[in-house]
Amino acid sequence: MDQPEGRYHYQLMRRALEAIDASEVPLSLEALAGEMQMSTAHFQRVFSAWVGVSPKRYQQYLQLGQAKRMLNERFTTLETAQSVGLSGGGRLHDLFLRWEAMSPGEFAKKGAGLTVNYGWFDTPFGETLVMGTERGICGMGFAEEMGREACFEDLAQRWPKAGFVEKPAALHGWVKAGQEQSGETALHLIGAPFQIKVWEALLQVPSGHVTTYSEIAVAIGHPKAVRAVGTAVGRNPVSWLIPCHRALRKSGALGGYHWGLPVKRALLAWESAREEA
């Protein structure tokens, strides 16, 4: 995650996404490369390294109807996923992810007495702020849409009485495991009990698949609490590793995304393309 090419690839894909959105018709490889002011060969190499499929195929994943198609073809019923082990293809298995939640009493202290290390890392989706305690990663946010200062403030204000120390070396191993999907990534979930249940349900959604807010509500035993589930999804402090981007509205609309819809679209398209590849 700390490799500069990660940010370069994301910035390139962000520009490509903007070009695709601005065009009324699908763009050819030559047209996209021209928009990026790159040779077709260079653009194809960089694009394939980031996504693993052709620009033409990737554009299909970025189309507005893709979310509805994913609901039809890759919808995850969380209760079934757990019973048949479908989540074995998701982050919970791939990362050998272990997690523990802060107790309600600890949460009520708003981080008092807690030391949170933080560092900035390059990821496939731009510069990312990672925070963690001695127990594991407790925060991860994307700075591309809101900027560094706002991103830091957004995460830090969730635990206002904690002490924050810039110490990326303390987080590097967990971050590297998350990027490479090998080894072990530890998470320390700091939230209210209801939020923890929602975030735990999100961990059951496999990469390349999606679910809905209402499905999550059913899975945690509160079928009428769809709005509250949506709020808890939006307050997920560990983006990407706890895949809140895989939660969609029942209509197939993307819904909101705390770190910006362009990032959510890129995350879903990237995972879908890699699932197919």
CA dihedral sign of residues 34, 10, 204, 221: negative
Catalytic residue among 244, 247, 248, 273: 244
At 276 the three-state DSSP class reads helix
3 within 8 A of 50, measured Cβ to Cβ: no
| Structural tokens at position 187 | 């998470």
Q: Residue 244: what residue type?
A: C
C-alpha 118/C-alpha 62 separation (Å) is 32
Contact 188, 137 (CB under 8 A): yes
CA distance 266 to 58: 10
Q: How far is 84 from 274, CA to CA, in rounded Å?
A: 23
Report how far residue 177's alpha carbon sits from residue 61's, in angstroms, rounded to the nearest whole number.
27
Integer Cα distance of 258 and 95 in angstroms: 23
| Active site (annotated) includes residue 244 | yes
Active site residues: 244
